[in-house]
Amino acid sequence: AEHQHARYNPLRDDWVLVSAHRVKRPWKGQLEKPPPEDVPRWDPNNPLCPGATRANGEVNPQYEGTFVFPNDFPALQPDAPEPGDSDHPLFQAAAARGVCKVMCFHPWSDLTLPLMSLAEIRAVIDAWAELAAELGASYPWVQIFENKGAMMGCSNPHPHCQVWASSFLPNEARLENRTQRQHLSQHGVPMLLEYAEQEAHRKERLVVENTDWLVVVPYWATWPYQTLLLPRRHVCRLQDLRNGERDSLASIIQRLLIKYDNLFEVSFPYSMGWHGAPTGPYLEEDCGHWQLHAHYYPPLLRSATVRKFMVGYEMLAQAQRDLTPEQAAERLRSLPEVHYKQRAK
């Protein structure tokens, strides 16, 4: 807890420098603006609201639950041309095709997932699984991700996520595919299934748990309050979850996100995303080395206005963190599970 050391991340096959004493240093750097508390529930000029007109001229339906539509500014399109042959191995390009969708979680702009009901969160999970199965029927990778808060690049306060399906395995997917395959080959058990069992037993990095799931600050965490959401059962893909597991997933997501918001009593920014076994042509292959999981990467370090910057040493050498994962887990674990906005005055 007091001395710097490096920790190995077997999922990414890299290392993180842990320098817990650095959190004590004075801070005279940038202070972030807390997110606005006065977001209107409905705004006709907000393109994600029911009945609003989007940039392409389409009008949203008066939806009452989740709402999925094609991204009006997609990073991937299904009909992109081939880039052509390279004339040198140092200048390579490859085809990149796919589709991008947006999913609104709820019709109200002033809500976030931790303030939604369990039934509403369960509807989001079902929509995630449906999209993963639908797009995964033809695309090798379906990336579900949520950027929450302006600090993490979110351009709209409405509760929503994005789903990008690609004709290729992205870098993180290829890396996790390799490391998990190697672990199963060497140890005879899926890496993250074994890891979940170890963390459930050790408990020092445990944040929340229930019958089907657990959330930990991983031993190799990079971001200050980074967490990893893991099923206890061997599950390869989101669409493979049983009915009861989806209910308990809604509960543990709500509990985690309430703790996040309660940490600094602010709508906690993060980027999160689901990783599971590849799809498309990989549906015909044995992907038993994969274990479904979700990553949460929040940037805040000391307060609602002081964030962790991944610059300098992190960009040029390796990742570095300013408090131990055990310290972060203990702080999150000790927080109440009633949202600060819903406590009795």
Please name the residue that has the structure tokens 């369960």: 122
Instruction: Determine if residue 226 is labeled as part of a ligand binding site.
Output: no
Instruction: Determine if residue 37 is labeled as part of a ligand binding site.
Output: no
Q: Is 297:224 a contact under the CB 8 Å cutoff? A: no
Instruction: Determine if residue 54 is labeled as part of a ligand binding site.
Output: no
Write b or e for each residue in 132-143: b if 16 or more Cβ atoms lie within 10 A of its Cβ, otherwise e: bebbbeebbbbb
Write the DSSP assignment of 208-245 as a string of letters: EE-SSEEEE--TT--STT-EEEEESS---SGGG--HHH
Cα separations in angstroms, 23 against 27, 260, 324: 9, 19, 10
Instruction: Determine if residue 153 is labeled as part of a ligand binding site.
Output: yes
Instruction: Determine if residue 147 is labeled as part of a ligand binding site.
Output: yes
Write b or e for each residue in 243-273: b if 16 or more Cβ atoms lie within 10 A of its Cβ, otherwise e: eebbbbbbbbbbbbbbbbbbbbebbbbbbbb
Q: How far apart are the first and last CA of the chain?
A: 37
Instruction: Determine if residue 162 is labeled as part of a ligand binding site.
Output: yes
Instruction: Determine if residue 314 is labeled as part of a ligand binding site.
Output: yes
- Out of 106, 158, 160, 183, the active site residue is 160
Instruction: Determine if residue 22 is labeled as part of a ligand binding site.
Output: yes
Please name the residue that has the structure tokens 């929503």: 160
Comparing C-alpha atoms, which of 260, 309, 294 is closest to residue 35? Answer: 260
Q: Give the chain's radius of gyration (CA, Å).
A: 21
Instruction: Determine if residue 68 is labeled as part of a ligand binding site.
Output: no
Give catalytic status of residue 158 as yes or no. Answer: no
Instruction: Determine if residue 345 is labeled as part of a ligand binding site.
Output: no
Instruction: Determine if residue 174 is labeled as part of a ligand binding site.
Output: no
Enumerate the β-bridge partners of residue 228: 216, 295
Instruction: Determine if residue 71 is labeled as part of a ligand binding site.
Output: yes
Instruction: Determine if residue 320 is labeled as part of a ligand binding site.
Output: yes
Instruction: Determine if residue 21 is labeled as part of a ligand binding site.
Output: no
Instruction: Determine if residue 234 is labeled as part of a ligand binding site.
Output: no
Instruction: Determine if residue 341 is labeled as part of a ligand binding site.
Output: no
Instruction: Determine if residue 313 is labeled as part of a ligand binding site.
Output: yes
Q: How many CB atoms lie within 10 A of CB 338?
A: 11
Half-sphere exposure of 62 (CA within 13 A, CB side): 0
Q: Is 219:325 a contact under the CB 8 Å cutoff? A: yes
Give the dihedral of Cα atoms 44, 46, 51, 54; nearest 10 deg.
Answer: 120
Instruction: Determine if residue 210 is labeled as part of a ligand binding site.
Output: no
Amino acid at 289: H
Residues involved in catalysis: 160
Please state the residue numbers annotated as binding site for Fe cation.
176, 275, 293, 295
Please state the residue numbers annotated as binding site for UDP-alpha-D-glucose.
22-25, 55, 71-72, 147, 153-155, 162, 308-309, 313-314, 320
Please state the residue numbers annotated as binding site.
22-25, 55, 71-72, 147, 153-155, 162, 176, 275, 293, 295, 308-309, 313-314, 320
